[in-house]
Structure formats: structure tokens, C-alpha cells
Amino acid sequence: MNGGRGSPDRTPSPRADACVIGSGPAGALVAHRLASRGYNVVVLEAGPRFDPDSRTDRMERAIRPGDARSVWDGGGERDAFSSSGERFYPLNAARVKGVGGSTLHWQGMVMRLHESDFRRASRGEGDADWPVDYDDLRPYYVAAEEALGVAGSDDNPFGPPREEPFPLPPFPPSHSDSLFAPACERLGIAMHSVPNARNSEAYDGRSACVGYGTCQPVCPSGAKYSADVHVRKAEREGARMIDRAPVGRLATGRGGDRVEAAVYATPDGTEHRQEARQFVVACGGVETPRLLLLSENDDHPDGLANGSGLVGRYFMDHLFAGVFGTLDRPTRQNHVGFLTSETHQFYDAPGRAVEGPDGVAVPASDADLAPFKLEFFNYAGPSPVDLALSADEWGDDLLASLRDAYGNHVGVGGLVAQRPRRENRVTLDPSRTDDHGNPVPDIQWSLDARARRTIERANAVQRAILAEMGAEIGGAVGPTDTGPAFHHMGTTRMGTDPDESVVNPRLRTHEVANLTVASSSVFVTGGAMNPTLTIAALALKAADHVAADL
């Protein structure tokens, strides 16, 4: 036993078929699929296993100011990072280290990439196509939707073709959506439902959503999918989960063409080696390249599987664009913390004109623009309880202020795609180390003119919608103050040419025979769709390939 009396056993398993590093959605799904096929699986997770009963307390932390503890116990020396790029990258704002990973925090929006996303270079929009296409991923998308329990409706006229209904019925549109609908109809903008990894009815042993309204950063009811679900399923199939076991490096054998062991530390400071036949790195778009870079050795002097020099390069995120305003009537915001309507109408036609009853609201553009999608907010404006807890008045004065501040806000948000660029990258910062003495990740991130231009374009459409509703525009998030959606992608890109990519279409690294990457880091382009469903689909695909080799 390791770690002293009462501590869980964190010593390595003597015989493992597969070692999975990371227990977010990718790692959890890989572990479950392999374990359910009878393989001996060990999962190494840097963070802790959270008690599900602690989630309500974490929700209170999220709502109430004054508690220095982060909702999911992140930050500190363990999660230290640098951001030396043109724009500061707030890495810890939305990531969770622990069993379930950042799905504990996420919003839970799960769209498939569009067919065009796999062919951006062929469309003249990027430097590379994906080496797989939509049809290759299609069966895995179906399986991923079933695994996560996606509530949705096949009502998106702009989405990719589907073959089966969603596992769960969609969340019906909100009252707020009904305020947008007439204006959008007059402008020729089609609204449609949002696929949610959130139970619209009981599913897979988890309850239906009960409306806490705090989906991001925590769902106390467990109705929102989080990857700890599949960790538990994997464990029931015989997989072994070792938490608080950060992997510091992957050690290769003679010749460097196979990983022999994942070298990890336990809370008491002991270093262990987990050996396995196959290794799957599933640590997201930042920690995955970091681990490969930390694993440099004589055979891999620039980092493991980094003969191309591309490990860490082409870091991408989605950029937020939004316009907000107020109406002269109640809009019923903040009852729930999720979205029920959006539009993908501009995704493959970002320059299309918007025309309304009074003429052209947004002229057509032939400028080079990126895909973007628009989201109709159900939580625009302040939440009364948030306001109350930070107010400097109380009693009747406070109530009057709350009534004045709440009730008539509207907002249209959106995500804008970012083209892969070599200079956007994750490297190691040798000047700064984490709690185990390993150099921290340095995120170098910037926006190009195309992204800025597209954010302006999204803002123009958003303003046109609010104007058509008769809203008084109150503010906008544009190119200057945009921020990331915390969708880390692209740092171990997939491809067929070992000089131009890190992993092959089987998600196996070109240079290390038993090393697979299951992560958004393999994305060649990121589109403007929330990435987790594609992460899940790729993870299931990766698991099939690993199983075939075991």
C-alpha cells in the first residue's frame, strides 16, 4: 500500500494493457470502452476525485463572493502557467484537474463539427484539411451522443446530416427565445435548438435537470454530463483509477520507439512507473503537448513524438463575440443556466447579408471571414442573488435596486473560429516550475485580422437582431475585449505526413508506436463549434484503434 494508513493504493498495477493519462471526457471514454472489452486499464489523473455530495457547496462558492477557494479547488503551484503571447491567456479560468476533468465546469453544449470543418484548406481557408472527414466520424458521433446523453432536435437546417434522433428530447425554447423569434424571422435568420449534454429527462441513472441555474461552473444535480460518469462506468468494468497522480514524463525504451512507462508522483512525493502495452494521453490541448515536451530524452531531444517540431504548435481557441441590451418588457433571464436556441446560419456563409423589413441591416461581405455561430442567451444581465451579495445597500433600498436592475435584459453571444497559426503555441517555461518541479506550460496566443474581422461581423449581425427587437443596446464584446471560450485545440495535430503532423488518422503518434493521443489537441482546425462532442467521438475512435492493437 502507498501513502500510509487510510490512503488509497496509488502504486502501479503489475500488468496493464493500457495506461490512460487524464480522466476528462476523452480519457474516461477511452478507459470505459477498453475496460468494457476486457482489457486491463489503469487511469492516471493529476487531480483528486471529488465527492459528488460536495457539488452544492461548490455551487455556493460559485455564487457567493468572499470565498477564496476556487469552485473546483484549482490554482496554486500545481496549476501554475505562463502566458507570454500577444494576449494574456487565462488558462485556469475554466479548467478542472480532477476525475471528470473540465466537464465538471463546462457549459455542456455538444454540436458536431460541420462537414466544411474537415475541409478548410480545400475551401481556401487554412493550411491543412483533416485526414478524416465527417463520414469517418459519423458513427462515433452517434456513439458519443448516446454516451453523453445529448438532448436535442434535428431542426438545424445548417447542421451536418444526421442518421438517428438524439437520445433525449430537446429542452423547449425559452420565453426569451420567443422574444427573439419574430425579429429573427423578419431578418430571415433561422433559429434552432441547441444540443445539450444535459438531461431533459432522466437518463443513464442521472436525474433530469432541476434548474439550479449554475450549469457553469457546477451542476449540483448531476443532470449535466460530466466525465466522472464514464470513469465510474470504467471502474465497474474493472478499470483502475489512480487520482492525485500527475504524470511528469513518459519513459521510452531502447530506440525510443515505444513508451515503457508513465512516470507519476503520488501525494507523499513518491515517484512510480506505470508500465503498459499501450499508452493514451488524454490531457487536453495544453497539458498533452506539455507532457510530450516534458518527456524529452536522447531519442527524442525536442520532446516525445516531436520530430516535426509541431508539438504545441497551432494552438487554437474559439473567440467570444456578444451584444447586449434591454427591452421595455420582462425577458425572464437567469431561470436556467443553459441555452435553448442558436443559429448556425452564418457558419458556412459568414458574409451573407441580413435584410429586414426596412432594407439591408448588414450588407453582404466578400471579405475573408471565419465561421461563426450565434447563441440566444437565457442568462443575459445580472442574476438578482449575485447583485444582492455584492450590493452596498440593504433592506427596501436593496430590493428596489434589484427590481430596477433585473428583468429586461437580452443578449446574443457567439463563437468565432480561429485559424490555426504556427506562432500560437504551448511551450515549456523553464523559468517556472509546478509543485513537482516540472516546467509550467507557456501559452502564446494571439488573434489575426481574420478573427478580428469576423468578430466585428458577428457583432454587426447581433446588433441588427437586437435593433429589430427594439432593444436599447447596452454593450458589446468585440475584437478588442474578446476572450477565449476555453476550448484548447490543435497542439498535436492529426495528419498523414509525419513532417506536418504529430498523430496519424488512427490518433497514434507518428514516431512512438504505442502512444495514442485522445484530445482536442489532435484537431487540425477548430471550427466554431463547442469541441467536446468531437473530442468524445475521437476518443471512441482512438479506443477502437488501441483495442485493435492490443
User: What is the contact surface with another protein in residues (CB under 8 A)?
Assistant: 53-57, 59-60, 63-68, 171-176, 178, 200, 208-214, 220-221, 329-330, 332, 334-337, 340, 378, 383-386, 388-389, 392-396, 398-399, 402-403, 406-407
- In the bound state with another protein, the residue whose beta carbon lies nearer, of 156 and 221, is 221
Instruction: Give the number of C-alpha atoms closer than 13 A to the C-alpha of residue 58, restricted to the C-beta side.
Output: 23
- In the bound state with another protein, the residue whose beta carbon lies nearer, of 297 and 390, is 390
d(CA 67, CA 197): 29
Q: How far is the CB of 376 from another protein (least distance, A)?
A: 12
Q: How far is the CB of 381 from another protein (least distance, A)?
A: 11
Is residue 326 within 8 A of residue 487, CB to CB? The reply is no
CA angle 146, 149, 155 (to 5 degrees): 90
Q: How far is the CB of 202 from another protein (least distance, A)?
A: 13
Which single residue is written with the C-alpha cell 491543412?
128
Q: Which residues of 400-439 are buried (b: 16+ CB within 10 A; e: fewer)?
A: ebbeeebbbbbbbbbbbbbbbbeebbbbbbeeeebeeebb
d(CA 138, CA 535): 13
- In the bound state with another protein, the residue whose beta carbon lies nearer, of 410 and 522, is 410
Greatest distance between any 2 Cα atoms in the chain: 75
Say which DSSP state 526 is in.
Answer: -
The closest of 463, 422, 427 to 443, measured between CA atoms, is: 427
Question: What 3-state class would DSSP assign to 329?
Answer: coil
Q: How far is the CB of 404 from another protein (least distance, A)?
A: 10
Q: How far is the CB of 90 from another protein (least distance, A)?
A: 21
Is residue 43 within 8 A of residue 239, CB to CB? The reply is yes
- In the bound state with another protein, the residue whose beta carbon lies nearer, of 29 and 150, is 150
- In the bound state with another protein, the residue whose beta carbon lies nearer, of 218 and 305, is 218
Which single residue is written with the C-alpha cell 466554431?
528
- In the bound state with another protein, the residue whose beta carbon lies nearer, of 151 and 370, is 151
| Residues in Cβ contact with 320 at an 8 Å cutoff, skipping those fewer than 6 apart | 413, 414, 415, 416, 477, 482, 483, 484, 485
| Residues in Cβ contact with 306 at an 8 Å cutoff, skipping those fewer than 6 apart | 292, 293, 300, 502, 511
- In the bound state with another protein, the residue whose beta carbon lies nearer, of 236 and 403, is 403
Amino acid (1-letter code) at residue 214: T
Angle at which helix 532-549 crosses helix 25-36, to 10 degrees, equals 40
- In the bound state with another protein, the residue whose beta carbon lies nearer, of 199 and 514, is 199
At residue 150, φ and ψ (nearest 5 deg) are -90, 130
Q: How far is the CB of 219 from another protein (least distance, A)?
A: 11
- In the bound state with another protein, the residue whose beta carbon lies nearer, of 367 and 385, is 385
Alpha-carbon distance values, 134 to 11, 114, 115, 138, 320 (Å): 41, 8, 5, 6, 25
- In the bound state with another protein, the residue whose beta carbon lies nearer, of 68 and 548, is 68
Q: How far is the CB of 62 from another protein (least distance, A)?
A: 9
Q: How far is the CB of 401 from another protein (least distance, A)?
A: 10
- In the bound state with another protein, the residue whose beta carbon lies nearer, of 388 and 550, is 388
